[in-house]
Amino acid sequence: MGSDMSGNKKTTNKRKPLGPQLASEQYSELNATFYSSAGPTEYVRARQQSIIFTLSDGDEAADILKKGVQYGALHGGASARMPQESRLRYAFLDSTVLVHHAGESLMRLWLAHMNFPLCPWIKVASVTEPGEFKRQAAKFAEPDTSHVDRKTVASVFLGGETAEEAGVEMNQETWEDSIEGIIELLRVVAHRLTNENALYNAAKHGLVGIPGDQGEIQWDDHRMVGGPGITYLESRRDGKSNPRQFSMWVTSTFTSLEGNLLLIELIIRATHSLWSVARRKYIGLPGDLVLVSRDEVYATVAIGLIRDERHLVDWSQKLPTYTYETGQRKIANAEFHMNAIGLGDDVLEASDRLNGRPAEPTFVDLPLRAGDERTPSKSTRSLFSFSPAGSSSV
- Domain chopping of the chain, boundaries: 29-366
On the CB side of 110, how many CA atoms lie within 13 Å of its CA? 29
Q: Which residue has the higher pLDDT, 56 or 289?
A: 289
Residue 371 predicted with pLDDT over 80: yes
Average pLDDT for 3-12 = 49
Average pLDDT for 59-84 = 71
Average pLDDT for 172-178 = 97
**What pLDDT is stored for residue 18 in this prediction?**
60
Residue 345 predicted with pLDDT over 70: no
pLDDT band at 356 (very low <50, low <70, confident <90, very high): low
pLDDT band at 298 (very low <50, low <70, confident <90, very high): confident
**What pLDDT is stored for residue 76 in this prediction?**
67
Least confident of 45-49, 83-87, 282-286: 83-87
Q: Which residue has the higher pLDDT, 81 or 281?
A: 281
SS3 270: helix
SS3 237: strand
Distance CA 157, CA 277 (A): 7
Residue 309 predicted with pLDDT over 80: no
**What pLDDT is stored for residue 3 in this prediction?**
45
**What pLDDT is stored for residue 117 in this prediction?**
95
Per-residue pLDDT tens digits for 29-50: 999 999 999 999 999 999 999 9
Distance CA 66, CA 63 (A): 5
* CA dihedral of 140, 141, 142, 145, whole degrees rounded to 10: 40
Distance CA 176, CA 150 (A): 9
pLDDT band at 4 (very low <50, low <70, confident <90, very high): very low
Q: Which residue has the higher pLDDT, 239 or 225?
A: 225
**What pLDDT is stored for residue 149 in this prediction?**
97
**What pLDDT is stored for residue 340 in this prediction?**
77
Q: Which residue has the higher pLDDT, 315 or 17?
A: 315
* CA dihedral of 95, 101, 106, 108, whole degrees rounded to 10: 160
Residue 11 predicted with pLDDT over 60: no
SS3 392: coil
Contact between residue 100 and residue 133 where contact means Cβ atoms under 8 Å apart: no
If one counts every other C-beta atom within 10 angstroms of the C-beta of residue 309, the result is: 11
Average pLDDT for 353-359 = 68
Is residue 211 packed enough to be buried (19+ CB in 10 Å), middle (13-18) or exposed (0-12)? Answer: buried
Average pLDDT for 18-26 = 85
Average pLDDT for 188-206 = 90
Q: Which residue has the higher pLDDT, 229 or 111?
A: 111
Average pLDDT for 334-356 = 74
Q: Which residue has the higher pLDDT, 315 or 81?
A: 315
Share above pLDDT 90 across residues of the chain, in percent, rounded to a whole number: 54
On the CB side of 59, how many CA atoms lie within 13 Å of its CA? 0
Residue 19 predicted with pLDDT over 70: no
Closest C-alpha to 109, from 50, 185, 47: 185
| CA-only gyration radius of the chain, Å | 26
**What pLDDT is stored for residue 20 in this prediction?**
83
Distances in Å between the Cα of 384 and the Cα atoms of 33, 243, 246, 279, 388 are 10, 50, 50, 20, 9
Element (H, E) at 69: strand 69-71
What are the beta bridge partners of residue 236? 247
**What pLDDT is stored for residue 242 in this prediction?**
67
Per-residue pLDDT tens digits for 95-139: 999 999 999 999 999 999 999 999 999 999 998 887 899 999 999
